[in-house]
Amino acid sequence: MEPGAPWRDPRQGYAYGVGSALQMQLQQRANAAAGGGVLKRSLGELERWQHHQQQHVAAHYLRAVRQRTAAAADIAALLGGGPTQPLVLSGSSYGGGLASPSSTLSSLTTASRAAVPLMHPHPQPQQPQVPLMTSSPQTQAFGLSRAQPPQPAASSELFILQELEKQLLDDDDDEPVAAMSSTGSAVTNSEWEETIQQLNSITAAPSPGLPAAAAPNNNNANAGMTRSPSNSSSSTASSSASCSPPTPGAASRQLLSEAAVALADGNHEAAATHLAALKRAANQHGDAEQRLIAMMVAALSSRIIPTASALAQHLAELCGAEQRAGTQLLHDISPCFRLALHAASVAIVEAVGDHRAIHLVDFDVSLQQHAALIQYLADRRVPGTSLKVTAITDPGSPYTQSLAATLTAFGEQLKQLAERAGIEYRFKVVSCRAAELDASRLGCAPEEALAVNLAFALSHVPDESVSPANPRDELLRRVRALGPQVVALVEQELNTNTAPLAARFTDACAHYGAILESLDATLGRESAEKKARAEVALAKKAANAVGREGPDRLERCEVFGKWRARFGMAGFRPVALGPGIADQVAARVGPAPPGFTVKAENGVLRLCWMGRVVTVASAWR
């Protein structure tokens, strides 16, 4: 042995379970006492030094045992048990000789494990040491009180508590005792944090013996994570309905939304159950809400068991002459449609200025709009005014047959109206696809002021989501190549193009519901027949928007933001429609009825019912 080397008791070694930190302390004290080597000590000094070190080790074990027994008492209280039994070390008391290290460790381990039942019958892998505190701070850290222990937890809760007990009371003989000082160890890991979180969630949950009214409710934070069958507006209505009884209309709309979500998920059985219950609340002759429910129930029901014959009949009715007449009637009697068409006519008249020769290219001729246009042109009092109208029909469109059948009759009526107003009028029909559109085919002349009308026309043209050729954007590029002085656009503020079923259904409910309410507010009982015909056409539109997918969904409306993007990519720039146009329209057709508003914002006119935008009119160049 080298001079000055520390002396080590052969009985001690590492058998005490004491880590290297304490051994270094013993070694340093031994060096200081030895003064250069233990061989210089007398036998009496050596025995006294050995006894002193044994007492030091015993005192250190006592501190660790007290901390562990306090933690064991806390865990036992958490689990509903009584206080733990006091630890009694085998052998002599601490005042006398210290028991052997092996027996001491056995007693410590046995006593601490006996505080609560073991979770696993087999030895478990070692866990990192965790902070140990006295019993009172420990219970406060978990939000519990030892004075009022909670009711026994369920089996899953007991499992987690036992896991926590294992973390607190596990003995790791290979870990240093210095790590378990009075301040506790700073060692933590992700498993320990997860256990604490699980324990907190258990203490917040109602225990089996606690009344439901007294149990705390911590589910509000997670309420938004569950899937709702309705959109945000209906979810808000559902939350407010918890405070007051829901109205029958709100409950029916919620059930409609659930049916739409079930259909979107492919759960036709649940959807059929909802729709069967809704049929009892539907009434085609009731108020606006009942008529909307009947309209949407029929639209969703057509998706459950679609047949080829039913689909063919639906498309034939949607593109038929009767449907077109009903749509024209809707445009005439609904202020949202009628005022928007008038605004487009005023925008055309302002763009052509004092030109005598005017050429209007129209892709969906409306008798109401053209009659208003003739009146606005006559009001200019420009002598020798002539109006040439070229109506475009697409041979590939399913709407062409009904459109061609009505165009000739429209032309004759408009010609008579123009002659009475002192305007020369010519009307012709040109059949061509979007890719075939050019100035020579349309008969455009240099001396003419060219205007293009796209009122309610683009929504009937497929886009890139239906056809790779993208006829919608191709048509816009061809129109841009004509060099018109103005392009008038009127469309419904509705997304029935690329939106998924659930979102499309929610938007359609709000949109068509607003139209139905506006018709009730506008028309009296003497117009009941007109209103019924217009609503039949509206119901067919709703059935196609909600009940059909792919190429079978013919009317594909978009919100104005998307139209603006398409026009911008095609090379158009907007022409502002100011409040003056709204004033001219009001002077012509009268002020809007109560509930209707006309908003001139960012150069466009938005026609609204009770704050809901129904149609948007804009102009481009």
Residues 298 and 328 in one domain: no
pLDDT at site 613: 97
Cβ distance 254 to 236 under 8 Å? no
Residues 256 and 312 in one domain: yes
Determine, yes or no, domain membership for 429: yes
Percent of the chain with pLDDT strictly greater than 90: 49
Is 497 or 204 the better-scoring residue by pLDDT?
Answer: 497
Residues 473 and 333 in one domain: yes
pLDDT at site 53: 64
pLDDT at site 47: 64
pLDDT at site 251: 83
Residues 261 and 406 in one domain: no
From 267-276, 393-402, 454-463, 599-608, the region with the lowest mean pLDDT:
393-402
Determine, yes or no, domain membership for 376: yes
> What token pair was written down for 122?
């087999």
Paired strand residues for 429: 391
> What token pair was written down for 295?
């309209």
Phi, psi of 61, deg, nearest 5: -65, -35
pLDDT at site 353: 93
pLDDT at site 43: 60
**What residue ranges in 27-101 does DSSP mark as E strands?**
none
Residues 351 and 478 in one domain: yes
Tell me how crowded residue 217 is: count the other CB atoms within 10 A of its CB.
9
pLDDT at 202 > cutoff 50? no
pLDDT at 82 > cutoff 70? no
Q: Residue 547 and residue 303: Cα distance in Å, rounded?
A: 6
Is 367 or 90 the better-scoring residue by pLDDT?
Answer: 367
pLDDT at site 281: 78
pLDDT at site 249: 65
Mean pLDDT of 39-49: 58
pLDDT at site 133: 40
Write down the pTM of the prediction.
0.62
Which helix or strand (DSSP H or E) is residue 379 part of?
helix 367-380
Domain housing 591: 323-493+559-620
For 423, counting Cβ atoms within 10 Å of its Cβ (0-12 exposed, 13-18 middle, 19+ buried), the class is buried
Q: Residue 519 and residue 533: Cα distance in Å, rounded?
A: 12
Determine, yes or no, domain membership for 389: yes
Among the listed residues 443, 425, 433, the one whose alpha carbon sits nearest the alpha carbon of residue 395: 433
Residues 372 and 384 in one domain: yes
In this prediction, residue 55 has a pLDDT band, given cuts at 50, 70 and 90, of low
Which helix or strand (DSSP H or E) is residue 249 part of?
helix 248-264
Residues 256 and 401 in one domain: no
Q: Residue 187 and residue 337: Cα distance in Å, rounded?
A: 71
Mean pLDDT of 259-274: 94
pLDDT at 421 > cutoff 70? yes
What is the 3-class SS of 269-289, one letter each residue? HHHHHHHHHHCCCCCCCCCHH
Among the listed residues 404, 424, 405, the one whose alpha carbon sits nearest the alpha carbon of residue 414: 424
Percent of the chain with pLDDT strictly greater than 70: 60
Sign of CA dihedral 536, 541, 544, 547: negative
Residues 266 and 306 in one domain: yes
> What token pair was written down for 237?
């209505």
| Residue in the block written with tokens 């938004």 | 224
Residues 424 and 275 in one domain: no
From 43-52, 251-260, 484-493, the region with the lowest mean pLDDT:
43-52
Determine, yes or no, domain membership for 476: yes
* CB burial string 431-467: b at 16+ within 10 A, e below: eebbeebeeeebebeeebbbbbbbbbbbbbbbbeebe
Determine, yes or no, domain membership for 542: no
pLDDT at 447 > cutoff 60? yes
Determine, yes or no, domain membership for 91: no
From 33-42, 224-233, 533-542, 578-587, the region with the lowest mean pLDDT:
224-233
Q: Out of 16-25, 249-258, 468-477, give the one with best mean pLDDT.
A: 468-477
Residues 361 and 417 in one domain: yes
Which helix or strand (DSSP H or E) is residue 291 part of?
helix 288-304
Domain stops at, among 299, 319, 339: 319
Per-residue pLDDT tens digits for 311-364: 899 999 999 999 999 999 999 999 999 999 999 999 999 999 999 999 999 999
Q: Out of 72-81, 122-131, 470-479, give the one with best mean pLDDT.
A: 470-479
Domain stops at, among 273, 290, 319: 319
From 30-44, 194-208, 260-274, 551-565, the region with the lowest mean pLDDT:
194-208
Among the listed residues 549, 544, 539, the one whose alpha carbon sits nearest the alpha carbon of residue 498: 549
Q: What is the dihedral of CA 211, 216, 222, 228, to 10 degrees?
A: 40
Residues 297 and 350 in one domain: no
Instruction: Write down the mean pLDDT value for the chain.
Output: 73
pLDDT at 225 > cutoff 70? no
CATH of the domain at 415: 3.40.50.150
Determine, yes or no, domain membership for 330: yes
Per the structure, the count of domains in the chain is 2
In this prediction, residue 586 has a pLDDT band, given cuts at 50, 70 and 90, of confident
Phi, psi of 391, deg, nearest 5: -95, 130
Residues 436 and 402 in one domain: yes
> What token pair was written down for 68?
């562990």
Determine, yes or no, domain membership for 35: no
Q: What is the DSSP string of 5-26?
A: PPP--TTTTTTT---HHHHHHH
| Cα 407 to the center of its chain, rounded Å | 45
Domain stops at, among 304, 319, 334: 319
